[in-house]
Structure 1
Amino acid sequence: MKSCILAVLMLFAVVATQAQNDSIKKTHSGKNELKLNAVFLLFGSFEPSYERNLTEQSSVGISAFIPFDSKNFDMDLNYYISPYYRIFFGNKYAAGFFLEGFGMLNSIDREYAIHTPDGGRKYWDENVTDFALGFGLGGKWLTSGGFVFEVNGGIGRNFFNTNNSEYYDYSPIVGKFGFNLGYRF
């Protein structure tokens, strides 16, 4: 009789232990993330991102910006490709508050102006390609299922066409921001 009661108690102990293990949430610590900027989709552009987590506190990634609807997207930006490096300050694996350093190869339509002999100006558009370096900050949240939500912003400076006074509306400052949704795997 004692052995039967002992066997039943051990069975309940094993079942209870198994139930506790199933209820513990596992953190999703995959190395790769695919994300899409949700706000830019509303304005007629596409910005996908790929990020690779190097350690618990750092990652590298690349994003590309491509407008597809010129009616809703009223900017002179043709595209950009932006590699970045991030350092995280949260307690979770590659999540929480982060600082970012980025490079940006960008192409912009700029208005070109020259003075005419009669004292006026003549304008036309020209495609200008430039490279910028910058920094940013943001936050990343991760669900236990691997879904990622990220808010980030950054500012940088172009290097090559900054002193050309012939560009009528040229600004050497570039920016990037995002409300990214994605998945870590």
Structure 2
Amino acid sequence: MKKITLLLLLFITTISIAQEKEEQYPQDINKKHEVKLNILGALAFEWIDVSYEYLINDESSFGVGALVGLDNNKNIDEYRKFSLTPFYRRYFSNKFARGFFIEGFGMLHSYENNNSNYYDDYSNNYISYGNDDTKTEFAIGISVGGKFISKKGFTTEIYLGLGRNLGGDSSSVEVVGRGGISLGYRF
């Protein structure tokens, strides 16, 4: 009889702990999708950078980001026009797909190659002695970051990474950057 009572108490305790975890982290229950907007890209670089992330399990996810450059004046970032960036993330936390992460990414990107221009100090203008062209290349890289999630499912993440272009010629961009501060929603 004591063994049955002990097993019954153990069973009830296990169920009550499981229910407490569900109440404590409602954003983790059956929510596998996230959409995000990189606000740093929109404010500082005049980029629209949106991404979608699918949560595979509590430690990993994959997703894709799309970036479109809107800066016609070429003030801050004169080369980035478009990028499509698939990524895979590995989370290092005891909570469901949040906290510190490492990301591997590939980036198909287009940029304006204006190596044929130079700045003339005397006339304070850019002088062109050739044609500008748009190049499309592929890069691979790695990022690190952190993700924070509210109980209602709103997400904030900060990340920074570098990638290297594969192929290309001597006038190609060799290194690409990836980073931002994103706000989103997990559903």
* Fold match by TM threshold 0.5: yes
What's the C-alpha RMSD, in Å, of the aligned pairs?
2.3
Q: Which residue of 1 aligns with 2:133?
A: 126
Instruction: State the 1:97 CA deviation.
Output: 0.3
The aligned amino acid for 1:25 is Q
Instruction: State the 1:73 CA deviation.
Output: 5.0
| In structure 2, C-alpha distance between the alignment counterparts of 1:84 and 1:171, rounded to whole Å | 21
* Equivalent pairs, count: 154
Structure 1 residue ranges without an equivalent (≥5): 1-20, 114-120
| In structure 2, C-alpha distance between the alignment counterparts of 1:131 and 1:57, rounded to whole Å | 27
Q: Which residue of 2 aligns with 1:46?
A: 48
1:80 counterpart = 2:83: yes
| In structure 2, C-alpha distance between the alignment counterparts of 1:133 and 1:89, rounded to whole Å | 22
Instruction: State the 1:40 CA deviation.
Output: 1.2
Alignment of 1:1-185 (within 5 A): 24-29=23-28, 30-43=31-44, 44-71=46-73, 74-113=77-116, 122-161=129-168, 164-165=169-170, 167=171, 170-185=172-187
Q: Deviations over 1:75-134 (max 9, x none)?
A: 211100000000000111000000000000000111254xxxxxxx93321111000111
The aligned amino acid for 2:37 is L
| In structure 2, C-alpha distance between the alignment counterparts of 1:46 and 1:40, rounded to whole Å | 7
Give the TM-score, by structure 1 length. Answer: 0.76
Q: Deviations over 1:15-40 (max 9, x none)?
A: xxxxxx7xx53331210000000111
Structure 1 stretches (4+) deviating beyond 4 angstroms? none
Kept after mapping to 2: 8 A contact 1:90/1:97: yes
Instruction: State the 1:137 CA deviation.
Output: 0.6
Paired-residue identity, %? 38
The aligned amino acid for 2:137 is D
| In structure 1, C-alpha distance between the alignment counterparts of 2:57 and 2:92, rounded to whole Å | 12
Q: Which residue of 2 aligns with 1:3?
A: none
Give the TM-score, by structure 2 length. Answer: 0.76
The aligned amino acid for 1:59 is S
| In structure 2, C-alpha distance between the alignment counterparts of 1:88 and 1:26, rounded to whole Å | 17
| In structure 2, C-alpha distance between the alignment counterparts of 1:128 and 1:69, rounded to whole Å | 17
SS in 2 for 1:28: helix
